[in-house]
Amino acid sequence: MNTSRTGSTAPPPRRSGRRLAGALLAGAVLLGAAGCGSPEAASGSGERKAGSPAGTTARTALAGLMKPVDSLPKPGPPVDTRAAAGKTVFYIPIALKVGHFPLVQKNLTTAFERVGVRLHSCDGQGTPSGISACLDQAVAQKPAAVITDYVPYELVPTTFEKVRASGIPVYVAGTAAPEGVRQSAAFAFGDPDAHGFTIMDGLADAVIADSDGAARVLFLKVMDSASTRRSADRAVEHFRKACPDCRVTVKEVGLSTMKDVPSLVSSALLTDPAITHVVPEYDTYLSAVVTGLQSVGRTRDVKIATTGATLATVQQLKSDDRLLAVVGASPPYLGWTMADATLRMLDGEQPPRTYPVVTRAFTKDTVDGLALNPKDEVSGRWFGDPAAYQDVFTGLWGAR
C-alpha cells in the first residue's frame, strides 16, 4: 500500500494552549495501482476479484466488532468504598456541553450514586483559562477527588501541579501521561489508546471490506493532539498491513482549519478522481466532508466512514447512503470506568492504566435493530446490555 501526505492544512505540532484545547473537542469523537478511468470504474466491482484475501479478512474482523458487548472481565480486585460515602468528586471535562461529555457526566452521576458519592461538574469551556478556573475551584473547595476528561496535562501543567500539591487525588482521563510526568495512586492517567486503536482498526476494516481490498482512500488526520495523531497513524498503518492493494492519501486537518476542509476534500478528488472513500478521523468533520463532495458532484459514488457514536451520527448512518460505517466507544461505559478509577484512588490504589474495551462498529445492518433515541444513547444500550459492566463494577464496589 502506498501512502502519500499532501496539502496539510494543520499548523505544526507545537501549538498554543487555546488551539490544543479546541482540537481536543473533536476527539471527545483515523498500494496498488493508482487506478485509471472514471471514478465509477475505480469504485465498482468490475475491476476486482470478489472475495479478495484482504476483503475477506476485513469482513471477518468487522463482523466481530459489529457484535454487542455482553460480558467483560473484572478490571481489578474489589474496592472498599465505605470511606467514600458522603464525599464529593469534581468532574472537569474539557467542554461539558459538547460531544459525548454530557453522556459521561450522567453515567458518572449514576455510578457514584451507587456508593453514596456526589458529583460536582465544572465546564472547562474548551479553553486553558476555563479549565484552570475549574481546577482552582477544586483546590479551594477541597473535594475528595478530581476527574478531568480529555484535558491534556500539557495544556495547564502549572494548575495540575497545584492540585497535586494540595493533596487532592486527580484522575486525568482520556489522555496519556506525558514523558517524565510522575504517576501515583494520587495522580493517575487513563490512557485512551486501547479504545482508540480498536476503533481505528475497525474504521479501516470497514473500508477494506466495502471495497473488497481495493479502496482508494482520502484519510483526514487530525493533528491537534498527540492522541489524535497516534490514532490516525494506527489507522493508516492498519491499511498498510491489511490491504496491500489499497492506496491511502493522508491530509492533515485541525479544528482551527475546519473551514478549509470542504475545499481540501474537493481539491483532492479533482486531483485524484479514482478516490473511492473519504475517511475523516472523527465525525466532527462529517459535515465538512459532505460539503466538499457536493461541490464536485461526487456525493453518489464516494463513500464515507468515520468514528463517533452520538445519536445524530448514528441516525445519519441509517438515512444517508454515503455513510457506510461509524465506529465508536461507549461513552456511558467510559463514565463507569472513571468512577471505578476514582474509587480505587480514594482507597489508596493506583487505577488500571487501561480498562477492557467496549467499542462497536455500526453499519446499515447494525442500526436497523437499534432504538435511536436519547434514552438508549444515554444508557449505552447500543453497545450491548449496560448490566454487563454495571454489575461487574457494583460487585467490586460492594454496592447494591
Residues 239-254: pLDDT tens digits?
999 999 999 999 999 8
Among 38-52, 105-119, 214-228, name the one with the lowest average pLDDT.
38-52
Pick the range with the lowest mean pLDDT from 67-71, 218-222, 255-259, 360-364: 255-259
Per-residue confidence (pLDDT) for residue 18, from 0 to 100: 52
Binned at pLDDT 50, 70 and 90, residue 92 comes out as very high
Going by pLDDT thresholds of 50, 70 and 90, the confidence category of residue 225 is confident
Is pLDDT above 90 for 204?
yes
Query: What is the average per-residue pLDDT within 296-304?
Result: 94
**Residue 50, pLDDT score:** 58
Which of 220, 217, 272, 273 lies closest to 245 in space, CA to CA? 217
What's the pLDDT at 112?
A: 98
33 pLDDT higher than 60: no
Q: Which segments of the chain does DSSP mark as H helices, in order?
A: 17-27, 39-43, 53-65, 101-113, 128-141, 157-166, 193-211, 226-242, 261-271, 286-295, 311-319, 331-346, 364-367, 374-379, 387-397
Judge whether 89 and 112 are in contact, CB under 8 Å: yes
Percentage of residues in the chain having pLDDT higher than 90:
72
Is residue 190 classed exposed, middle or buried when 0-12, 13-18 and 19+ CB atoms within 10 A define those classes? buried
36 alpha carbon, distance to own chain's centre: 35
135 versus 227: the higher-pLDDT residue is 135
Buried-state track 11-47, b at ≥16 Cβ within 10 A, e below 16: beeebebebbbbbbbbbbbbbeeebeeebeebbeeee
> Which pLDDT score, from 0 to 100, does residue 32 have?
31
Average pLDDT, the chain: 88
pLDDT for residue 193 is more than 80:
yes
**Rounded to an integer, what distance in angstroms lies between the CA atom of residue 160 and that of residue 162?**
5
The model's confidence at residue 156, banded by pLDDT at 50, 70 and 90, is very high
pLDDT tier for residue 191 given thresholds of 50, 70 and 90: confident
The pLDDT tens digits of the residues spanning 338-376 come to 999 999 999 999 999 899 999 999 999 889 889 999 999
With 80 as the cut, is the pLDDT of residue 171 above it?
Answer: yes
The predicted pLDDT at position 100 comes to: 84
Shortest CA distance to 110 belongs to which of 268, 334, 263, 298?
334
Give the residue-averaged pLDDT of 186-208: 95
Task: Give the strand pairing for 277-280 and 118-121.
Answer: unpaired
Nearest residue to 392 (alpha-carbon basis) of 67, 69, 8: 69
Across residues 152-158, what is the average pLDDT?
92
Percent pLDDT > 70 in the chain is 87
Count other C-beta atoms under 10 Å from residue 235's C-beta.
28
> Which residue did the predictor score with more confidence, 11 or 371?
371
